[in-house]
Amino acid sequence: MTTQRKVYQDILQKIKAIIYNDGLQTGDKLPSERELSERLNAGRSSVREALRSMEMLGLIETRRGEGTFIANAKDHRLVEVIASFILKDTKSREDLLETRKLIEKDILRVACERISDEYLLRLRTMMEHKDNSSEGEIFSTEFDTAFFRIIVSSTGNYLLMRLWSELADYHQTIWHHLTFRPSIYYKQLIEALSIKDQEKAIRLLDKYEMKRTDE
């Protein structure tokens, strides 16, 4: 790895850390290029290159005369158009579900290696709130998506996050009825992640596979 490449990657990581530490959310404005350069003690050209790559991934967006903002990826998606024209036939839909599952298996492998105590706490807290809610054992697709989104985030791989988010959004657009996973699935998955057991995590994904109920 060249020194220039390493510096570029370090800057990307530091910008992501600033976004996290500053608590920036979708729609919030990033510090200016000059301010980032000062905070990171890096050249403005290197900061500019890092910002451009983040913009290509759809993580940020530049508004002329206003600055750079955390992007809402949904604003750039054509989910409904794709669902209407590309995913009409059953085979394409089945392929989409299979692709999502394959990606989720890889996500679990990476998450088992990288997940921190902070993300495990977020997962456990989510389950505690669910257990204490009036809904009880009713787990919606929205809950499942939110739960797995935390796992994807724990990998620290933003491109992987975008790919998975696209697939998850497609499913909610074209299939509104999927089988619900039981409480034990989520609790055992947290346990598998906490002990970094990749095989157990993937077995759980296979055992409690999401299937259509609207056929």
Provide the mean pLDDT of the chain.
79
pLDDT digits (tens, 9 = 90+) for 103-134: 999 999 999 999 999 999 999 999 998 877 65
List residues bridging with 212 in a β-sheet. 178
Chain centroid to CA 118: 16
Residue of 180 and 142 predicted with greater confidence: 142
- Give the model's pLDDT for residue 177: 54
- Interhelix angle 141-154/158-174, nearest 10 degrees: 170
User: What DSSP string describes 90-158?
Assistant: HHHHHHHHHHHHHHHHHHHHHHHHH--HHHHHHHHHHHHHHHTSTTTT---HHHHHHHHHHHHHHTT-H
Fold of 3-73: Arc Repressor Mutant, subunit A (1.10.10)
Which band of pLDDT confidence, cut at 50, 70 and 90, is reported for residue 213?
low
Q: What is the spatial distance between Cα 102 and Cα 177, in angstroms, rounded to a whole number?
A: 20
77-207 shares the fold of 3-73: no
Rounded Cα gap, residues 53 and 187, in angstroms: 37
pLDDT at 38: 92
Domain ranges in the chain? 3-73, 77-207
pLDDT at 154 over 80: yes
Helix, strand, coil % in the chain, rounded to nearest 5: 65, 5, 30
Structure-model confidence comparison of residues 53 and 5, the more confident one: 53
pTM: 0.60
Q: Looking at the chain, how many residues does it have?
A: 215
Both tokens of 74, joined, read 């949904």
Which superfamily does 77-207 belong to?
GntR ligand-binding domain-like (1.20.120.530)
Which helix (H) or strand (E) segment is 61 a member of?
strand 60-63
Mean pLDDT of 89-111: 84
